[in-house]
Structure 1
Amino acid sequence: MAVILVTGATAGFGRAIAMRLVKEGHKVIGTGRRKERLDALHHELGDAFLPVELDVTDEQKIASLPESLPSAWRQVDVLINNAGLALGVGKAQDADLRDWRTMIDTNVTGVVEITRAFLPQMIERNHGYIITLGSVAGTYPYVGGNVYGATKAFVGQFMRNLRTDLLGTRIRASTIEPGLCGGSEFSNVRLRDNQKAADVYKGTDPLTPEDIASTVSWLLSQPPHVNINAIEMMPVCQAAGGLAVDRKSD
Structure 2
Amino acid sequence: MKLLRYGPAGQERPGLLDGEGLIRDLSSVVPDISGKTLSRAGIEALRRLDTAALPLVADPVRIGPCVAGVGNFIAVGLNYADHARESGLPIPAEPVLFNKAPSSISGPNDPIVVPPGSSKLDWEVEIAMVIGEAAYDLPEADAPDVIAGYCVCHDVSERAFQNERGGQWTKGKSSPGFGPLGPYLVTADAIAEPQDLTLWLDVNGVRMQSGSTATMIFGLHFLVSYISRFMRLEPGDVITTGTPPGVGMGRHPPRYLKAGDRVELGITGLGTQRQQVLAHG
TM-score, reference length from structure 2: 0.25
Q: Which has the higher strand share?
A: 2
Higher relative contact order (CA 8 A, sep 6+): 2
